[in-house]
Structure 1
Amino acid sequence: MKAARWTLGIVGDLLVTAGLLLLLFVGWQLWWTDVTANRTQDATVSTLTRDFAETPAPTGPTSEQPKAVPFGKAFAIVRIPRLGADYARPLLQGTSRDVLEDGIGHYDGTAGPGAIGNFAVAGHRTTYGRPFHDIDKLRTGDVVVVETKTAYSVYAVKRHEIVAPTDVQVIAPVPDKPGAKPTERWMTMTACHPKYSAAQRYVVFAELVKTYPRADGLPAGTLAVPKGA
């Protein structure tokens, strides 16, 4: 009996320890990764803002071509007024796990900001700064601004869709129409769905309204927070 009680005691202690370690891991995943990622992403936005200001701005319309951007490099800033007046996240080339820990990722092979085709991006909905945590709050007509060293590309949200992770047609040159020749300028934002799960993908489609050269700046009120946000 004494040996059995001793064994049960050891097992109980091990289970308690395992439970505490699991709680610490969950806390690290859901909280600490946000803290460290937000610091990194804020620093990247600050660096991009400074670099953009120091780069001579062209006066004609232009777009950033992704093929010229090295994998993992930050090349743009994404601003979404619906998600807050201070919402600004770095956009990096690629969508690998390491890249998405540092900001929003641009799908290789898709169009660049402001270009004809489908400018497709991905972001975490939980952990690592969760840039697309509230992607489901975007409404039709909401503005998404993509700022590069050459231009501001302003998109307006058109529709939402929930798909399986294997439904890659959402990032086709013409969203949801594989093989079709693109004539319009789309932006597709993807994130895991539901929150705290990767069972599906939440997708938001936005269409380009206009591209403004950096020399011209953005029209007043473009980044104003929508009423009710």
Structure 2
Amino acid sequence: MATAGGGDLRTRNRRRPRRRTSVIGVLGELLITAGVIVLLYVAWQLWLGDVIYGAQAKAESEELSQQWAQEYEPPAPAATGEPEPAGPATVEPVILPEPADAEVFALMRIPRFGSDYAFQMAGGVSRARTLDKTYIGHYPDTSMPGEPGNFAVAAHRTTFGAPFNRIAELHVGDAIVIETRVGWYTYRFRTLEYVTPKETDVLLPVPQAMDVPAGTPYITMTSCSPMYSLAERIVGYGVFESFTPMDAGPPASLQAVT
């Protein structure tokens, strides 16, 4: 039957054939979906996850700090029979035993990074047991805080809270404070160095020839470099300045950086 507009009405009303779903089309849609999921995961790991992990790590660190302050019992003064010296005196640092793998033993505070910067420190540098738990790991068999030699530690620069994310922003003289259940150990930042992953001499008792007396305690902080890469290591060095016992209250080195 013809219509006024021309053409056969039966032909115009005939159903169009359904478009067949091809294997290539389905595969393309699956790849697009997978790509979106991967991008979301990367965004979580590199940005949003760091914010959440970092905030949680800092909150847990503050809780531990308060717990140590409440549990602290000052040692009884030694009965020497001699009057105490007038004026400020140098306090010998308490040397703690080396922690077991994944055992939390200290907090690191760096005023340059803000008053809320506080990350727990634990024994060992394995990813699964220490670094991926937002901890700063202590290299086994290196010195402990305040002990002569090299107190060597490592942490992530990206992902899992990224404790050493801003390590390249340290200024000479910045305080690096290690808080423990017995007191605070203050180091002063000296310099940065970039090395290959095979250059393990940064963990030696004296990692660099600095103009300091023999037997000086050092701190060495290591992380990956450049950002989001494992090609090199960024290494920050500091020199021990002082120990402040818990009963003396927080040291002046914790004051905010302006």
Output the TM-score relative to the length of structure 1.
0.87
- Supply the distance in 2 between the matched residues of 1:142 and 1:198 (Cα, whole angstroms): 26
> Is 1:62 aligned with 2:93?
yes
Once the 2 structures are TM-superposed, how far is the Cα of residue 149 of structure 1 from its aligned partner? 1.0
Aligned to 2:147: 115
> 1:1-229 alignment to 2 at 5 Å?
6-53=22-69, 54-58=71-75, 61-67=92-98, 69-98=99-128, 99-102=130-133, 103-176=135-208, 183-220=215-252, 222-227=253-258
Does the residue aligned with 2:254 lie in a helix, a strand or coil?
Answer: coil
Deviates more, 1:120-129 or 1:41-50: 41-50
One-letter code of the match for 1:159?
Answer: T
**Per chain length, whose mean CA-contact separation is higher, i.e. which structure has more relative contact order (CA < 8 Å, sep 6+)?**
1
- Supply the distance in 1 between the matched residues of 2:220 and 2:46 (Cα, whole angstroms): 26
Q: CA RMSD in A?
A: 2.3
Does the residue aligned with 2:201 lie in a helix, a strand or coil?
Answer: helix
| Contact 2:61-2:120 within 8 A present in 1 as well | yes
Gap regions ≥5 residues in structure 2: 1-17, 78-90
Q: Aligned pairs, how many?
A: 220
Does the residue aligned with 2:184 lie in a helix, a strand or coil?
Answer: strand
Output the TM-score relative to the length of structure 2.
0.77
One-letter code of the match for 2:72?
Answer: T
- Supply the distance in 2 between the matched residues of 1:85 and 1:36 (Cα, whole angstroms): 18
Once the 2 structures are TM-superposed, how far is the Cα of residue 36 of structure 1 from its aligned partner? 4.8
| Contact 1:37-1:101 within 8 A present in 2 as well | no
Once the 2 structures are TM-superposed, how far is the Cα of residue 22 of structure 1 from its aligned partner? 1.2
12 and 117 in structure 1: CA distance in 2 versus 1, 3 angstrom threshold: same
| Contact 1:37-1:128 within 8 A present in 2 as well | yes
Once the 2 structures are TM-superposed, how far is the Cα of residue 44 of structure 1 from its aligned partner? 3.1
One-letter code of the match for 2:124?
Answer: G
39 and 57 in structure 1: CA distance in 2 versus 1, 3 angstrom threshold: farther
Does the residue aligned with 1:190 lie in a helix, a strand or coil?
Answer: strand
Once the 2 structures are TM-superposed, how far is the Cα of residue 47 of structure 1 from its aligned partner? 3.6
Does the residue aligned with 1:101 lie in a helix, a strand or coil?
Answer: helix
Percent identity between the two aligned chains = 39
- Supply the distance in 2 between the matched residues of 1:70 and 1:36 (Cα, whole angstroms): 27
- Supply the distance in 1 between the matched residues of 2:140 and 2:97 (Cα, whole angstroms): 8
Q: Which runs of structure 1 show a deviation greater than 6 angstroms over 4 or more consecutive aligned residues?
A: 2-5
One-letter code of the match for 1:196?
Answer: Y
Does the residue aligned with 1:85 lie in a helix, a strand or coil?
Answer: coil
Higher Rg of the two aligned structures: 2
Deviates more, 1:28-37 or 1:150-159: 28-37
